[in-house]
C-alpha cells in the first residue's frame, strides 16, 4: 500500500511539474489550482481508497493529465475533448468502486451523464449552428458535469461514494472545467439577455434540488446533493464575470474538494463535536468553515440579477441546514481506522479555513481594508 501511495504521489508531482513547465504565464495558475485540488485529494485520502487497486491509481492520474491538458488548451474544441475524457474516467472510477448495482434505470450509473456530456459536446461541432445554440449546449454540459453524482444517488451503500475520492475528483474536474470555461472561452452573449437570466436560473435550479433533498432521510444522499449544488455554485460565481467573485469561486472549489476528503463518511458521533463539525461542514452556512467562502462569493453586486441569485443561494443553503434535525446519527464511539486523525485533522482545519479563505478574498480584502481605513480617517 505504501509503495502504491509513493508511486501515485511521484506521478502527481511529475505531471504537475511537466504541466507547469509547458504552461504559459497565464495558464500556470491553473496548474497550481489543479495541483491543490488533486494533491489535497491524495493527501487527505485517509481511507487509502486511491492506492487500494492499481486501476484506481491509473484512472486518477489519467484524469489529472486530462484536466490539466484541458486548462492548457488554446481552442474550445480541444478543451471540451479533454474535459469530456476526464469526466468519463471519473465515471469509470465510480463504477469500479461502487458496492452495489441497484437503483432506477439511468439513475443508477454515472456513465449516463458522461455520455450525455459527450453528446452535448459533439452537438457543438454541427456546422452552421448559431453562437446562441452553441453556448446553450455548453451551459447544459457544465450543468451535467455538476450533477453527475445525481445519477447514482439511489444506489444502496451510498457511503461508497459520499466523502470518497471519486466524489472529490468529480467536484475538482467539474469546478476546474467551469472556472476555466468562464475565464477563457465564455462568449459575450452570456452577459446579454436572455442568457443573463442564468444568474437567477442556476440558483433556482439549485433551490429545487435543495427542496427535493428535504424529503431524503438518508444523510449521505443529501450530502451528495449538496456536493452537486456546490459545483453549480462555483459555476454561478465564475459566470457572474466579477473578479472578486471569480476568485471566491476558486476558493470555493479548493475548500469543497478538501472538505469532502476530510469528512468521516461512515459514522457520526454527536458527542464528538469536532467530528460532527467536519461532517456537517459540507451542508450548512452557520457553523461551517465554508461560511467564509460563501460570504465572499455572495458579496454585493451592481447587477440586480446577481443580487437576486445571491439571495436564492442563501435560501438554498438555509434549507439544507434547517433539515438537519431529521437525521439520526450513530452514537457508536468506536474509532474509525480510516478516518483522519491527529495532525492530519488539525492541519485540515487550519489550512482549509485559512488557506481557502485567503484565496477567496485575496482580491477583495485590500478593498475592504481601504474602505475601513478611509472611514477611520474621515472620523
211 or 293: which leads in pLDDT: 211
- The whole-number pLDDT of residue 348 equals 52
Q: In the prediction, which pLDDT does 298 show?
A: 74
Q: What is the pLDDT of residue 326?
A: 52
Calpha distance 133→130 (Å, rounded)? 6
- Check residues 344 and 257 and name the one with the higher pLDDT: 257
Measured distance CA(241)–CA(342) in Å, rounded: 41
Contact (CB, 8 A) for 296 and 248: yes
pTM of the predicted model as reported, rounded to 2 decimal places: 0.81
Q: How confident is the model over 259-276, as a mean pLDDT?
A: 60
Grid cell listed for 9: 504521489
What is residue 308's DSSP assignment?
H
Contact 247, 360 (CB under 8 A): yes
Residue pointed to by grid coordinates 439513475: 107
> What are 321-379's pLDDT values in tens digits?
665 555 444 444 444 444 445 555 555 555 555 555 555 455 555 555 455 445 444 44
Q: For residue 94, what pLDDT band results from cuts at 50, 70 and 90?
A: confident
Kindly report which listed range (8-17, 68-77, 259-268, 352-361) carries the lowest average pLDDT score.
Answer: 352-361
Q: How far is CA 326 from the centre of its chain?
A: 26
Residue 18: in which H helix or E strand, if any?
Answer: helix 2-22
Per-residue pLDDT tens over the stretch 137-152: 999 999 999 999 888 8
Give 315-329 pLDDT, tens digit per residue.
Answer: 888 787 665 555 444
C-alpha 99, offset from chain centre: 23
Phi, psi angles (nearest 5°) of residue 364: -110, -25
Helix (H) or strand (E) holding 24: none
C-alpha–C-alpha distance, residues 79 and 184, integer Å = 10
Q: Which three cell numbers stand for residue 359?
A: 484565496
**Domain extent listing, the chain:** 2-378
Question: Residue 70: what pLDDT?
Answer: 96
The residue among 74 and 261 whose pLDDT is bigger is: 74
Burial (CB count within 10 angstroms: exposed 0-12, middle 13-18, buried 19+), residue 157:
exposed
Residue 230 has phi, psi (to 5 degrees) of: -65, -40
All three cell numbers of 282, joined, read 459540507
pLDDT at 369: 47
Under the banding of pLDDT at 50, 70 and 90, the label for residue 271 is low
Nearest to residue 12, comparing CAs of 39, 34, 37, 33?
39
- Segment 245-261 shows an average pLDDT of 85
pLDDT digits (tens, 9 = 90+) for 33-75: 999 999 999 988 877 888 888 999 999 999 999 999 999 999 9
Angstrom distance (rounded) from CA 94 to CA 88: 10
Grid look-up 472561452 returns: 185
Contact at 8 Å (CB) between 165 and 50? yes
Each residue of 160-203: pLDDT tens digit? 566 678 889 999 999 999 999 999 999 989 988 889 999 999 99
C-alpha dihedral sign at 350, 356, 359, 361: negative
Reading phi first (left if > 0) and then psi (alpha if -120 to 50, else beta), residue 162 is in beta
Amino acid at each position: 500500500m505504501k509503495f502504491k501511495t509513493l508511486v501515485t504521489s511521484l506521478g502527481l508531482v511529475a505531471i504537475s511539474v511537466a504541466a507547469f513547465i509547458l504552461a504559459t504565464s497565464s495558464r500556470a495558475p491553473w496548474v497550481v489550482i489543479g495541483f491543490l485540488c488533486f494533491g489535497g485529494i491524495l493527501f487527505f485520502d485517509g481511507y487509502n481508497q486511491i492506492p487500494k487497486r492499481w486501476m484506481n491509481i491509473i484512472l486518477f492520474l489519467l484524469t489529472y493529465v486530462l484536466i490539466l491538458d484541458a486548462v492548457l488548451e488554446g481552442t474550445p474544441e480541444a478543451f471540451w475533448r479533454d474535459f469530456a475524457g476526464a469526466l468519463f474516467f471519473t465515471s469509470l472510477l465510480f463504477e469500479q468502486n461502487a458496492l452495489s448495482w441497484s437503483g432506477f434505470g439511468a439513475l443508477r450509473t454515472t456513465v449516463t451523464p458522461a455520455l450525455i456530456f459527450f453528446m452535448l459536446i459533439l452537438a457543438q461541432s454541427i456546422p452552421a449552428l448559431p453562437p446562441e445554440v452553441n453556448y446553450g449546449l455548453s451551459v447544459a454540459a457544465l450543468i451535467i458535469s455538476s450533477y453527475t453524482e445525481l445519477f447514482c444517488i439511489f444506489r444502496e451503500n451510498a457511503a461508497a461514494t459520499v466523502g470518497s475520492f471519486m466524489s472529490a475528483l468529480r467536484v475538482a474536474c467539474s469546478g476546474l472545467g467551469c472556472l476555466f470555461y468562464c475565464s477563457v472561452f465564455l462568449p459575450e452573449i452570456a452577459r446579454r439577455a436572455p442568457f443573463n437570466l442564468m444568474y437567477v436560473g442556476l440558483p433556482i435550479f439549485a433551490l429545487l434540488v435543495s427542496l427535493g433533498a428535504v424529503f431524503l432521510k438518508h444523510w449521505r444522499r443529501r450530502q451528495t446533493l449538496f456536493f452537486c449544488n456546490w459545483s453549480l455554485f462555483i459555476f454561478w460565481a465564475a459566470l457572474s464575470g466579477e473578479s472578486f467573485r471569480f476568485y471566491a469561486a476558486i476558493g470555493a472549489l479548493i475548500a469543497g474538494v478538501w472538505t469532502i476528503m476530510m469528512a468521516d463518511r461512515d459514522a457520526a458521533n454527536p458527542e464528538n463535536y469536532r467530528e460532527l463539525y467536519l461532517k456537517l461542514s459540507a451542508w450548512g452556512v452557520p457553523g461551517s468553515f465554508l461560511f467564509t467562502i460563501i460570504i465572499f462569493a455572495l458579496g454585493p453586486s451592481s447587477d440586480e440579477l446577481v443580487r437576486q441569485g445571491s439571495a436564492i443561494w442563501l435560501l438554498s443553503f438555509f434549507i439544507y441546514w434547517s433539515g438537519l434535525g431529521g437525521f439520526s446519527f450513530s452514537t457508536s464511539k468506536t474509532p474509525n481506522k480510516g478516518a483522519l486523525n491527529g495532525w492530519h485533522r488539525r492541519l485540515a482545519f487550519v489550512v482549509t479555513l485559512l488557506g481557502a479563505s485567503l484565496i477567496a478574498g485575496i482580491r477583495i480584502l485590500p478593498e475592504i481594508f481601504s474602505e475601513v481605513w478611509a472611514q477611520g480617517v474621515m472620523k
